[in-house]
């Protein structure tokens, strides 16, 4: 529907920083009949029947009540799962909310960005710095920008591996004192996995807070949760969205030192996690066997798809996630996006220079993978 309201002329109503913002662009959610949707890393399998039953049973008169403000029962269950205390865990409206809270809690807005006439940033610019590798989750720079902090993107190596601490020290861009460092592990959008031992070296070298964003870790061979319990400045981010088929409910959590967790807890909304989301997440933890069987199917489809696309001339990076990054042959990746779409297969393409030659393909069911290979053959 066209907007019939005239535009606001008094731009002073809106903060200059917000006026100039570039918002995060989420993947498309089109409702096209018969579409094979492989663009937003959703899980192709539904939540476990026990989860669906728990949510249905809870959809009654209780909806008039506020949910538990701290997701207490869920945090207790998560604490048992991870061998820590509920005080080491904060639950969020998706892990995205917690990534935003971390930016607000640990990073100073940069005076020169908030108020262009303010004096320069020095002497300690790292207090204003949100640091991350590139490519990685494209939300991080947006969070920095919203907060008025400095976004500092440091390139991964060409094969998307992490530079070593020695290499970071050697280069001039990495800031060991950055107020906040995000590391997507396994990496998105490349799918590359990182060894806990190399993450540990990086964490040891950092002076500011480090968030290890493990959104896809259930599809990997290693996780780095122990680092969040060992180092007071390290947080691990997890989500129920990907491996646990629960994007719709928006539940994610951080694990870390109780002081960092208490800090984030201070600045969150009182009822940040909706009641049905808490119930769904609890029921999920009660049926982990179901999800582990799905991880196996997704990993098998990932390996099959990687092999088949490689045979067709795609360059596929080894993945430890539920997606692959693949450089298609013959045409530019952006053209492949459209050609696939014409065949009712939706994948993701990013315009960022480091990844513009690639398609990111979510791993669906084996049948969806087979349909994608068939479409690729037809295109070629």
Ligand X SMILES: Cc1ncc(COP(=O)(O)O)c(C=O)c1O
Binding site for ligand X (CB under 6 A): 41, 94-96, 137, 184, 188, 213, 215, 239, 241, 247, 252
Nearer to ligand X by Cβ, of 247 and 373: the residue is 247
Shortest spacing between CB 211 and ligand X, in angstroms: 10
Shortest spacing between CB 235 and ligand X, in angstroms: 13
The Cα 193–Cα 189 span in angstroms is 11
Nearer to ligand X by Cβ, of 206 and 239: the residue is 239
Nearer to ligand X by Cβ, of 29 and 57: the residue is 29
Nearer to ligand X by Cβ, of 213 and 368: the residue is 213
User: Which residue is nearest to ligand X, using beta carbons?
Assistant: 94
| Burial degree of 160 (CB within 10 A; 0-12, 13-18, 19+) | buried
Shortest spacing between CB 130 and ligand X, in angstroms: 14
Nearer to ligand X by Cβ, of 110 and 217: the residue is 217
- Specify whether the CB–CB gap between 359 and 337 falls below 8 A: yes
Please tell me whether residue 70 adopts helix, strand or coil conformation: coil
What per-residue string of b and e applies to 255-289 under the rule 16 or more CB within 10 Å gives b? Answer: bbbbebbebbbeebeeebbbbbbbbbbbbbbebee
Shortest spacing between CB 289 and ligand X, in angstroms: 22
Shortest spacing between CB 165 and ligand X, in angstroms: 22
Angle between helices 366-379 and 333-342 (to 10 degrees): 110
Nearer to ligand X by Cβ, of 203 and 215: the residue is 215
CB atoms within 10 A of CB 202: 23
Nearer to ligand X by Cβ, of 145 and 213: the residue is 213
The Cα 322–Cα 266 span in angstroms is 34
Q: How long is the chain?
A: 380
Cα–Cα distances in Å, from 262 out to 70, 81, 130, 238, 258? 11, 20, 21, 17, 6
- Specify whether the CB–CB gap between 345 and 38 falls below 8 A: yes
Shortest spacing between CB 219 and ligand X, in angstroms: 12
Helix boundaries (H) for 131-186: 139-147, 165-170
Shortest spacing between CB 245 and ligand X, in angstroms: 12
């Amino acid at each position: 529907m066209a907007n019939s309201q005239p535009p606001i002329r008094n731009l002073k109503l809106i903060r200059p920083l917000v006026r100039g913002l570039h918002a995060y662009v989420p993947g498309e959610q089109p409702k096209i009949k018969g579409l094979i949707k492989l663009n937003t890393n959703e899980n192709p399998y539904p939540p476990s029947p026990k989860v669906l039953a728990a949510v249905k049973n809870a959809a009654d008169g209780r909806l008039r009540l506020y949910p538990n403000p701290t997701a207490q029962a869920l945090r207790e269950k998560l604490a048992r799962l991870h061998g820590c205390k509920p005080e080491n865990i904060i639950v969020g409206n998706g892990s995205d909310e917690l990534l935003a809270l971390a930016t607000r809690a640990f990073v100073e807005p940069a005076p020169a960005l908030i108020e262009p006439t303010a004096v320069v940033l020095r002497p300690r610019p790292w207090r204003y710095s949100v640091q991350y590798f590139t490519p990685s989750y494209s939300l991080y720079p947006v969070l920095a920008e919203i907060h008025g902090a400095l976004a500092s993107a440091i390139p991964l190596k060409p094969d998307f591996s992490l530079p070593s601490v020695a290499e970071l020290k050697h280069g001039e861009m990495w800031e060991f004192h950055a107020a906040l460092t995000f590391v997507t592990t396994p990496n998105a959008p490349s799918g590359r996995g990182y060894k806990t031992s190399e993450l540990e070296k990086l964490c040891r070298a950092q002076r500011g807070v480090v968030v290890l964003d493990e959104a896809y870790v259930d599809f990997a061979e290693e996780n780095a949760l122990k680092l969040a319990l060992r180092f007071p400045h390290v947080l691990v981010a997890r989500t129920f969205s990907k491996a646990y088929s629960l994007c719709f409910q928006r539940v994610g959590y951080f694990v870390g030192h109780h002081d960092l967790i208490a800090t984030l807890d201070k600045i969150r909304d009182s009822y940040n996690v909706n009641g049905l989301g808490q119930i769904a997440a609890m029921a999920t933890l009660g049926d982990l066997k179901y999800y582990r069987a799905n991880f196996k199917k997704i990993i098998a489809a990932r390996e099959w798809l990687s092999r088949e696309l490689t045979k067709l001339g795609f360059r596929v990076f080894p993945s430890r996630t539920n997606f692959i990054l693949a450089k298609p042959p013959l045409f530019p990746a952006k053209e492949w996006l459209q050609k696939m779409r014409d065949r009712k297969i939706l994948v993701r393409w990013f315009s960022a220079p480091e990844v513009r030659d690639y398609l990111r393909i979510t791993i669906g069911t084996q049948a969806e993978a087979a349909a994608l290979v068939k479409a690729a053959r037809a295109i070629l």
